[in-house]
Amino acid sequence: MSAISQLWEADSIAVIGATERAGALGRKPMDYLLRYGYKGRILPINPKAGEVLGVPAYPSLKDAPGPVDLALIMVSADRVAGAVDDCVAAGVPLAVIASSGFAETGPEGASLQARIVERARAGGLRLIGPNCIGAVSYNSRVLATFSPLFGADEVPFEPGSLAFVSQSGALGFGAASLALQRGLRPGWVVSTGNDADVTVLEVLQELAKDPECQGLLGYLEDVPDIEALKSISASGKPVALLKSGRTEAGGRAAASHTGALATDDRVLDAALRRLGIVRVDDIDELLDVAHAFEFPLRPRGPRVAVVTTSGGSGILAADAVESHGLQLSELTPESKAALSEIVPAFGAVDNPVDITAMVLSDPTLFDRSLDVLIADDTVDIIIACFCVMASSDVQKAVTSLGKAARKGGKPVLVARTGADFLAPDAPAMLREAQLPEYPTPARALRAAAALWQVSQERVPLEAAEAGPDSAPAPAPTATEPELKKLLADAGVRVPEGRLATDRQDAVAAVREVGGRAVLKAVVPGLLHKTEAGGVRLGITEETAAEAYDALIALGGDVLVEELAPEGIEVIVGARSSALGPVLTVGLGGILTEILDDASSRLLPLAPGEAERMIAELKGAAILGGARGSAGSDTAALADLLQRVSELVAGWPDGFELDLNPVRVLPQGVIVLDAAYSTTA
């Protein structure tokens, strides 16, 4: 048995700092364990009390009868180290440190926290916290927490299948309270506070092993460990994460465009997408997704059929389908013909299917329409939208929808737009029928998209390793010509050209590349050549000597290259990140600065991943040929992305390769400039 699992499996709990004093943190866990019927042994630790709330107390942990599975440390920060030592001596596998006054207070507190964690690890003790509200299991009634949630007069306390794990205790238990209010059933709520030892992802890993857990939900503040994410993904359980800190304070843009585009947050998005883990933006969205996870049906594809009693709801649902990356199903001709025999003439049989408010007088419209959609193989998910329906009408609709879901094995999500007082029993009816319910079509579609994301086959995210097409990393001082030779050796097209040895050689070099050329200064450390006056365009044999003189004065060499054909400029880059090497492509020029238009993936690329990266760009239509312009060779761009990913495989941490600009031509691509840096 894992030490972490004692949070929900403990048969004995010691409360260090237990007291009867009203309002004290050391009283609340005692109150909750007794109030909610914990079946194991409770061991209050208080040197001055003979008993606490009627439970025999012990002056120290060594005096308490063992074994102790879980200890709650509820004392001031200066006494925590001693309590940890007592836990080690007693062989306690896991302790929750509720006390604050550690890393969250500054360097001195961080130093104290580090020393305590070191002592605990040396003694085989795992720690949750510090600065932690604790944990609760609704299934085993382990309440290792002082959260005020459980002090309310009436708190739903039923077994559940959802796991909420949060670095922030207040936010985690607040989200749990909102889940209960919505009718969701959490089985476990855990906060990890400062994440000094046991982390959010470690707890999720452990909960993923529990066969009763149907959905994993987490709130993170730190960049997560990629190996833990891989493990959670490999469990096959549906996972949704809320990660704060989408903005990046660092100023990488001054050194590298791709460095600025490949932010840690964008890299995390790429990693989660690859691992089949849903990322959400707020608590509402987290709970919406959780509601879809609660029930067992999973879609076989992304194709959606919308059936509605309101034309407006149907339009909103159709809009949301595409915006969430799903597809509006093209119903078969047979389905449309069958629906035309069912739906009133003033309704609609093209998807969305509008059966109109006539359903109020003829409830069979739902039954018959759903039978058609369930039988249609082009439909993977059904979204049912109805508005301002009273209890009796809702009951009829729910009966039809539940029957359809069971019959066809396809998930049915409900958008019920109307006040609760119209149908007070509706939430309970929908839950009984295992139909996730949302107040608007857009929220139902967002949940459906999440359900499809976690239902797809998960491609393992293996570490990028050197292969036959990889090459040793360049020297930290590698120049543009050296980098371009490396690229050319990897099969990447670069401009024809060479270094000029003097002003007359520059004239000869221009002649060699066709009579019109680009001259560049090659100066170590000079990344933004254009801003420094280090690039001269359209140079001829007549102007070559003068251009050479101006560039050589900058203190380096002069590179003479052919003038490349016109095309669409993009940026391609690869760099190290906390999650592993990452590849980024973005539209170049002004679009880079203004639209932040880029797509990133962790390496190695999965099959088809390069093409999907290009398609994700906001400016993908520009590459495809907008307003009658010639299209660009996106297949060649995808090939370049693949070649770069193979080239950098196995390069050591700390590297950054910046190809900017890359010109995408009607046929082929050409890398016009390259820069490399390393922190090693």
Q: What is the DSSP string of 450-467?
A: HHHHHHSPPPP-PPP---
End residue of a domain, out of 132, 157, 184: 132
Residue 95 phi, psi dihedral angles, 5° rounding: -135, 145
Query: Token pair of 538, please?
Result: 């359209």
Beta-sheet strand order (sheet of 12-16): 41-45, 12-16, 70-73, 94-97, 126-128
- CATH number for position 533: 3.30.1490.20
Identify residue 292 by its one-letter amino acid code: A
Q: Which of 547, 562, 577 is the last residue of a domain?
A: 562
Residue-number span of the structural domain to which 22 is assigned: 1-132
Query: Does some domain include residue 378?
Result: yes
The C-alpha atoms of residue 98 and residue 92 are separated, in whole angstroms, by: 16
Provide the pLDDT for residue 627: 59
Alpha-carbon gap, residue 423 to 613, rounded angstroms: 45
Rounded to the nearest 5 percent, the helix, strand and coil shares of the chain are: 40, 20, 40
Cα dihedral 506, 509, 514, 515, rounded to 10, equals 20
Going by the DSSP 8-state scheme, the letter that residue 608 receives in this structure is T
**Which residue in the block uniquely carries the two structure tokens 């088809």?**
608
User: Tell me, what amino acid is at 636?
Assistant: A
Decide if 280 contacts 240 (C-beta within 8 A).
yes
Q: 531 and 575 share a domain?
A: no
CATH number at residue 8: 3.40.50.720
Contact assessment for residue 258 and residue 571, using Cβ atoms and an 8 Å cutoff: yes
| pLDDT score, position 589 | 65
Q: Which residues contact residue 122 at a Cβ distance below 8 angstroms, ignoring those fewer than 6 apart?
A: 88
Pairwise CA distance, residues 119 & 113, whole Å: 10
Asked if 441 and 534 sit in the same domain, the reply is no
User: Looking at the structure, do residues 307 and 450 belong to the same domain, yes or no?
Assistant: yes
Distance (Å) of CA 278 to CA 441, 458, 460:
19, 12, 16
The pLDDT value given to residue 212: 94
The continuous run of DSSP H or E covering 674 comes out as strand 674-678
Q: How far is Cα 459 from Cα 70, in angstroms, rounded to an integer?
A: 38
Q: How far is CA 149 from CA 65, 167, 174, 532, in A?
A: 31, 17, 8, 61
Low-confidence ranges of the chain (pLDDT < 70): 1, 246-264, 360, 463-470, 527, 589-595, 626-630, 680
Domain co-membership, 441 together with 508:
no
The one-character DSSP state at 563 is -
Residue 112 inside a domain? The answer is yes
Residue type, 586: G
What is the SS3 assignment for 246? coil
Single pTM value for the model: 0.85
Pair 41, 114 in one domain: yes
Q: What is the pLDDT of residues 122-169, one digit of tens each?
A: 999 999 999 999 999 999 999 999 999 999 988 889 999 999 999 988
What was the pLDDT predicted at 464?
Answer: 56
pLDDT of residue 397: 85
535 and 627 belong to one structural domain: no
Report the pLDDT value the prediction gives residue 538, as an integer from 0 to 100. 93
Q: Please state, in angstroms and rounded to a whole number, the distance separating the CA atoms of residues 667 and 318.
A: 37
pLDDT for res 251: 35
Encoding tokens for residue 398? 């729910």
Which H, E and C letters describe 264-293, residue by residue?
HHHHHHHHHHHHCCEEECCHHHHHHHHHHH
The identity of residue 117, as a single letter, is V
